[in-house]
Structure 1
Amino acid sequence: MSQVTEDTTRTQRVLSLPLSFPIGLPGFESHHSFVLGALGPEYGPYLGLRSTLQDGPSFVIAQPSELGIEMAVDIDDFHQSLLGINDAGEVLVMLIATLDAHGGNPTVNTQAPLVINVSNWRCAQILQGNQAYNMHQEVEVPLRDEARVSLSGEVEE
């Protein structure tokens, strides 16, 4: 078993990146092919993840560090082999967000992060045994914020 700290990962913004989930996602085991894409500058660190199957699930995800969350992810031998992970530098950690129906800030699932091997784009959701992690971790970063976009359409720093 190895442990990857969030500091070893980097998010790369792309328009459309195909991702493979060899065993699907819990509750969506028949969905193996997803596309990762930007939602737009007003969404800041949040990205969209959608199944390539018609009427398949879609998720909003973000990298923990971009939400102010520090975490270390344990990756068991099964998932290392499944994803073909040979080095911590190949790993990108993302969290699935749950959106508040009343427009509040989202929560994220730190208990079961997505682990992506950036050398082959294989992914899996891996349940963590750390009791400090939970399914509804509050975050301060709003999903959509027009202040992130200047009048010229560029993202403000």
Structure 2
Amino acid sequence: MSQVTEESTQTERVLSLPLSFPIGLPGFEGHHSFILGALGPEYGPYIGLRSSQEGGPSFVIAQPSELGIEMTVDIDDFHQSLLGIKDADEVIVMLVATLDADGGLPTVNTQAPLVINVTNWRSAQILQTNQAYSMHQEVEVPLLDASRVVAADDAVDTRSD
């Protein structure tokens, strides 16, 4: 049974969710357990994915729709069985972001999206054959943007009395 846990910190509540990658990730086949967690409001739609193993890999990921990307992901029979997918409503798709060393806009890998079954939290990176998809698709959503943070004192109460 999967659990969603919330850890309190002094400045914010951090949501963390364990994900299982039964066959690992390409290049990181020995890493099967990852934690999906918030990076903070200044990161907008981007979230963190880090290995549960100390010193393991970490990634920045986001949903395609949050980045203005429309795509259809093909999931072959092997991956459907591996992830226990019975219905398309059980799946969310995430894209791995590559960060520009100069602080420019990130790119995302639409050629090999992460597919997550939200009923059992089993995941895999699935290579797509659609030639329109790229390993480095440019996006217009910056990774870090301080303007996304709204201080609690500045929040507007829209409730009517």
**TM over 0.5, shorter chain:** yes
Over residues 98-125 of structure 1, what are the superposed CA-to-partner deviations in whole Å (9 max), with x where a residue is unaligned?
0000000100000000000000000000
- Structure 1: unaligned runs, 5 residues or longer: 1-13
Over residues 10-43 of structure 1, what are the superposed CA-to-partner deviations in whole Å (9 max), with x where a residue is unaligned?
xxxx710000000000000000000000000000
Corresponding residue for residue 109 of structure 2: 109
Equivalent positions of 1:39-50 (< 5 A) are 39-50=39-50
Quote the Cα distance in structure 2 between the aligned partners of 1:26 and 1:153: 45
Shift of 1:153: 7.5
Corresponding residue for residue 88 of structure 2: 88
- Larger relative contact order (C-alpha < 8 A, sep ≥ 6)? 1
Scaled by the length of structure 2, the TM-score of the pair is 0.86
1:112 is paired with a residue whose SS is coil
Aligned residue identity for 2:73: V
Quote the Cα distance in structure 2 between the aligned partners of 1:27 and 1:143: 24
Equivalent positions of 1:3-152 (< 5 A) are 15-152=15-152
Shift of 1:152: 2.6
Contact 1:115 1:126 in 2 (8 A): yes
How many residue pairs get aligned? The number is 143
Corresponding residue for residue 8 of structure 1: none
Change beyond 3 A, Cα 1:109–1:94: same
Bigger-Rg structure (1/2): 2
Contact 1:149 1:155 in 2 (8 A): no
Percent identity between the aligned chains?
Answer: 80
RMSD over aligned Cα atoms: 1.6
Shift of 1:150: 1.8
Scaled by the length of structure 1, the TM-score of the pair is 0.88
Contact 1:41 1:154 in 2 (8 A): no
Change beyond 3 A, Cα 1:89–1:149: same
